[in-house]
């Protein structure tokens, strides 16, 4: 029987409803988040809002409290679903490395002689963004050059466009396609928190104005109000703080991940288009369509490179050692962040950043125009993708020796 894309999915995601709902591997935490919203709301409706029905001078405004609470809760939960149950902007994996970027390179052995040339893929390549060279990095797992601002989430094991962070509370990556809904979820949770806090306080005030003249007596009459106020106060620090932080990020066009990196490296943000434009970009643009059709049937996979790939290529003796002689500093898959962005600032001294924005490379990479007219340099060549985790690509040694003869 033909399998669908979601059944063959290589990321760590969880699919529900036949691939219609798409969660991160920690999707169970969404249930906890739902409970953290629902339980206090139910307590509020039963123990506070119900008693406010007839407390306001205008008869119906008492009912409005309950209605507004329910409406807001539905909105918050709907936004949570939009954030966590859909494709956050995953870049589909390739079945083999990009052919146009493959090149041969001779490694120098210990005694100084050259060894058989091996197929290699450049570790990074440069593209031009706003007239400046920007490095993009090759992802070993997905076998693609990550688009600008794209990162590989180690929890989901996918490359995500406009990667913000992996949110354990929504059990999903926050990226290009769900950032807007994530922000709206967080900010509407903040409003709900403020509303529940305020209405609980109002109820205490009504009790004090009535038969319970002191705060203590009022608190004894409605302990639920006090618990709710305490809960909302603590939650406000979290969701309110997050809302403010993301308002700042949106206004400056940064992702959470970039923000930590800019701070760690003292780098300039090149994506800032002015506050208004930055907000428009997040809230007034159409959500980009998903690049993944999880329910599509899997096509017969071409696991091997086309045969003409071998016949048309020859080993070129390298006359300049711009790649092979360049000792590579440790390059970790720096975007395999997991949830711990804080570690970034500690790694600043030895980490090799990708997307080195605005930085001129110190090596003498060759530049050649790519199909889009952008200057692209071949540089930072590393050992080929053989025996990588993705494992679906392997070049037989015989193929290489044929070419080199």
Residues forming contacts to Zn ion in the complex (CB under 5 A) are 139, 141-142, 152-153, 155-156, 159, 166, 173
Rounded to a whole number of angstroms, the minimum distance from the CB of residue 279 to Zn ion is 25
List the catalytic residue out of 150, 159, 167, 193.
167
CA dist., res. 119 & res. 121, Å (int): 7
Return the number of the residue (314 or 389) whose C-beta is nearest Zn ion.
389
Return the number of the residue (93 or 261) whose C-beta is nearest Zn ion.
93
Taking the CB of residue 339, how many other CB atoms lie within 10 A of it? Answer: 14
Phi, psi for 206 (deg, rounded to 5): -60, -40
Rounded to a whole number of angstroms, the minimum distance from the CB of residue 157 to Zn ion is 8
Residues 6+ apart with CB under 8 A from 48: 199, 200, 203, 222, 224, 225, 228
167 is catalytic: yes
Buried b (16+ CB within 10 A) or exposed e, 128-158: ebeeebbbbbbbbbbbbbbeebbbbbbbbbb
In terms of Cα–Cα distance, which of 90, 152, 100 is closest to 294? Answer: 90
Rounded to a whole number of angstroms, the minimum distance from the CB of residue 141 to Zn ion is 5
N- to C-terminal Cα separation, the chain: 45
Rounded to a whole number of angstroms, the minimum distance from the CB of residue 199 to Zn ion is 36
Return the number of the residue (170 or 173) whose C-beta is nearest Zn ion.
173
Rounded to a whole number of angstroms, the minimum distance from the CB of residue 206 to Zn ion is 46
Residues 6+ apart with CB under 8 A from 129: 148, 270, 357
Handedness of CA 311, 312, 318, 322 (dihedral sign): negative
Return the number of the residue (48 or 102) whose C-beta is nearest Zn ion.
102
CA dist., res. 255 & res. 160, Å (int): 12
Q: How far is CA 403 from CA 104, 113, 120, in A?
A: 10, 19, 14
Rounded to a whole number of angstroms, the minimum distance from the CB of residue 274 to Zn ion is 30
What's 324's DSSP letter? Answer: T
Buried b (16+ CB within 10 A) or exposed e, 225-238: bbebbebbeebbee
Beta carbons of 117 and 106 less than 8 angstroms apart:
yes
**Please, what is the Cα angle at 66 between 61 and 67, to 5 degrees?**
85
Return the number of the residue (117 or 171) whose C-beta is nearest Zn ion.
171
Return the number of the residue (65 or 159) whose C-beta is nearest Zn ion.
159
What's 128's DSSP letter? Answer: E
Rounded to a whole number of angstroms, the minimum distance from the CB of residue 287 to Zn ion is 18
Return the number of the residue (142 or 249) whose C-beta is nearest Zn ion.
142
Taking the CB of residue 4, how many other CB atoms lie within 10 A of it? Answer: 17
Residue numbers annotated as active site: 167
């Amino acid at each position: 029987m033909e399998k669908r894309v979601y059944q063959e999915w290589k990321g760590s995601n969880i699919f529900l409803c036949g691939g219609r709902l798409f969660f991160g591997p920690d999707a169970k935490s969404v249930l906890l988040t739902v409970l953290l919203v629902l339980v206090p709301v139910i307590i509020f409706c039963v123990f506070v809002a119900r008693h406010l029905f007839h407390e306001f001078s205008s008869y119906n405004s008492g009912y409005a409290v309950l209605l507004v609470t329910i409406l807001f809760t539905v909105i918050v939960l709907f936004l949570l679903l939009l954030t966590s149950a859909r494709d956050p902007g995953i870049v589909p994996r390739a079945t083999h490395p990009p052919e146009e970027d493959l090149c041969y390179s001779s490694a120098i052995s210990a005694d100084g002689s050259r060894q058989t040339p091996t197929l290699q893929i450049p570790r990074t390549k440069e593209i031009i963004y706003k007239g400046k060279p920007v490095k993009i990095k090759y992802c070993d797992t997905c076998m693609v050059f990550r688009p600008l601002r794209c990162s590989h989430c180690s929890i989901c094991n996918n490359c995500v466009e406009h990667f913000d962070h992996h949110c354990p509370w929504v059990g999903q990556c926050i990226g290009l396609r769900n950032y807007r809904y994530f922000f709206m979820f967080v900010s509407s949770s903040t409003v709900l928190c403020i509303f529940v806090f305020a209405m609980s306080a109002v109820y205490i005030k009504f009790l004090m104005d009535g038969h319970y003249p002191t705060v203590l007596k009022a608190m004894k009459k409605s302990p639920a109000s006090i618990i709710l106020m305490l809960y909302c106060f603590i939650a406000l620090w979290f969701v309110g703080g997050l809302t403010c932080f993301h308002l700042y990020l949106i206004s400056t066009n940064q992702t959470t991940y970039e923000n930590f990196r800019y701070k760690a490296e003292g780098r300039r943000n090149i994506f800032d288009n002015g506050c208004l434009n930055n907000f428009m970009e997040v809230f007034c643009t159409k959500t980009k369509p998903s690049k993944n059709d999880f329910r599509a049937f899997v096509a017969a996979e071409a696991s091997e490179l086309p045969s003409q790939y071998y016949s048309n290529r020859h080993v070129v003796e390298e006359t300049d050692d711009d790649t092979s002689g360049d000792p590579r500093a440790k390059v970790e898959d720096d975007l395999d962040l997991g949830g711990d962005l804080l570690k970034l600032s500690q790694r600043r001294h030895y980490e090799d950043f990708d997307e080195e924005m605005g930085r001129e490379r110190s090596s003498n990479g060759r530049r050649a125009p790519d199909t889009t007219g952008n200057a692209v340099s071949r540089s930072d060549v590393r050992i080929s993708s053989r025996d990588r985790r993705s494992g679906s690509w392997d070049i037989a040694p015989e193929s290489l020796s044929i070419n080199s003869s």
